[in-house]
Structure 1
């Protein structure tokens, strides 16, 4: 059985992981909701029907599929299983996969001269309905999440009794190095690495 000290550390680590997970899911849900709305508004815009071609229909089909996929991702339910950490991981990755379908193809900068007429119409319509503002807000929220994780990690490490820090030796050493500016990472970079460590797949043993 775990000792009282190990149990305390386990609960503290779980709380930290839960904070990272909640922040990440909130970030993903914002993205899914906003892009779903943008796609719906674009599909209702007469501009998306201004060219009578198969390529234009394909542009609309991409958005129709995204609306369906993002609706499903928003309504997804956290799975149950042996590993709560892995359940969270796959739940988050499922939402992220859907959102990235939009982010990679609908918000990425492409030189105008390389767009087909149909792609140009689609891009202009998405811009009209706020895709550039969404991209800026997405970036801001991503940064805020990373910074928040560092703040919560600092609280966790400072509240950890000295006798228990041996149980969290890896995190204690990393925090000590970061505090002394020995990692060569600013707060944002450190937050991103912390997130990857906290929100990770745990292989079965």
Structure 2
């Protein structure tokens, strides 16, 4: 029987359940986790953006990879990376002819999910119902409106009849790892170390 060297970390419990929202790809962190000693099970759970924070607070999952903002009360948060915002439009839309656009260029557009940032539309907005990102891209494809999304979400729902163009002066969205303050144990910190790029021998710092 192969024994685990005493220098390798061992953890009690069934492992970790980590949620992730659409567009976030946790694969590289999952691979790094599996390469660590101890063979602690990692279960990845795909959740809608509106569900992930609540799932952490309720204990349904241990941690979540989310987009900010989130309510920080009773949660630890580690910012991981920023995402470029893009506008998704029909291939026939004039915006499709540009490499990128300014936020002000959207003021006269029908905005499917509402105005981004501090943009004040210059035209009356249609009363679009609340819809998923995928449905919003379908509306853009039909030429009825445009939608601003994080680049990774636009790629997730890409269609041949739409294009995505960066909005150069719109603040990026931030992907972060969150978990409950009362779950700040050794196992949790081991996963925090993975997403921060620490190796098993690195100090927590």
**Higher strand share goes to which structure?**
2
| TM-score normalised over the length of structure 1 | 0.25
Q: Which entry has the higher C-alpha Rg, 1 or 2?
A: 1
